[in-house]
């Protein structure tokens, strides 16, 4: 069991207009987090630029870069200098015509400790990710770090209890989600409220069902669509929940924010003793979960 408590930071940001400007803002945020005593920092999904998946355009592939590459070199140096565990999120160019939405972990070192390629890829209005991203092929394997085993998942993975469960079964100490999700500005307020509440609720459910702390870092701000559509109002609301789904920290919907939280990692053991969900799973009766649907 890693040391407890763990001081974590989530860097909720807006797009600053260029990769260099975004990385400059991230560097400032990492330095602020380190000064505040953070050990682990989670960044938002695809933090180097705008959420380009609002349309389908082959020119957007120019944003991708190899891993390792220029961004991992810069972030790794900062992780080593500041002695931070950093979770980044990049558009990976694996080969010509082969791209992934990939999260990268640095463990207080310039060396990459591990990667996770987004498994569930959406294809919805304003979220045309299947055009850009090949589904992940690294499975649901936690990444070992000095602060514990990180069960790292990405955005659309948030809606799937199977993904969180498999990370828990593989020994994850925390669940982490870099995210880019928001509202259609034309939606009525009650619809906006339902969507945001559902996003928060399903993730709190993952924390409860697995007895694990959970961190979700989302972007914020209005990003216009490249094709003159309405764009997306990213709803921020980054949060940290404990193993019973309790809020440990919550960010605003509409502001850049460094969100700090202390996580008592030892509580997972205590919670799992009184709520032994893993013990009572009927694994003998779950075979149909491998089917798309039961006709």
Active site residues: 45, 118, 155
Output DSSP code: residue 134: P
HSE, CB side, 13 Å, CA atoms: give it for residue 73. 5
Strands 98-107 and 85-95, bridge-based pairing: antiparallel
Cα 203 to Cα 181: distance, rounded to the nearest angstrom: 14
Beta-carbon count within 10 A of 35 CB: 9
Specify the length of the chain in residues: 295
Beta-carbon count within 10 A of 291 CB: 8
Cα 254 to Cα 169: distance, rounded to the nearest angstrom: 35
Helix H or strand E encompassing 189: helix 189-210
Residue 47 in tokens: 């933090």
Cα 15 to Cα 264: distance, rounded to the nearest angstrom: 32
């Amino acid at each position: 069991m890693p040391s407890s408590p763990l001081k974590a930071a989530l860097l909720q940001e807006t797009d600053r207009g260029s990769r260099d400007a975004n990385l400059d803002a991230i560097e400032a945020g990492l330095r602020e987090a380190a000064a505040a005593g953070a050990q682990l920092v989670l960044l938002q999904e695809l933090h180097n630029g705008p959420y380009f998946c609002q349309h389908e355009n082959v020119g957007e592939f120019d944003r991708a870069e190899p891993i390792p590459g220029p961004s991992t070199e810069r972030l790794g140096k900062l992780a080593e200098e500041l002695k931070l565990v950093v979770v980044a999120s990049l558009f990976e160019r694996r080969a010509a015509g082969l791209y992934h939405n990939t999260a990268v972990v640095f463990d207080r070192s310039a060396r990459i400790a591990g990667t996770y390629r987004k498994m569930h890829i959406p294809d919805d209005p304003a979220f045309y990710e299947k055009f850009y991203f090949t589904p992940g092929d690294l499975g649901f394997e936690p990444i070992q770090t000095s602060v514990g085993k990180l069960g790292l998942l990405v955005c659309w993975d948030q809606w799937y209890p199977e993904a969180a469960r498999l990370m828990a079964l593989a020994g994850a100490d925390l669940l982490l989600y870099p995210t880019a999700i928001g509202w259609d500005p034309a939606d009525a307020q009650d619809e906006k409220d339902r969507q945001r509440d559902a996003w928060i609720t399903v993730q709190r459910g993952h924390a409860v069902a697995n007895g694990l702390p959970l961190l979700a870092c989302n972007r914020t701000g209005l990003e216009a669509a490249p094709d003159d559509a309405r764009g997306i109002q990213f709803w921020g609301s980054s949060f940290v929940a404990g193993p019973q789904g309790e809020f440990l920290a919550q960010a605003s919907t509409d502001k850049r924010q460094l969100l700090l939280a202390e996580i008592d990692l030892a509580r997972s053991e205590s919670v799992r003793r009184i709520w032994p969900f893993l013990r009572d799973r009927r694994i003998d009766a779950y075979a149909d979960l491998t089917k798309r649907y039961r006709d």
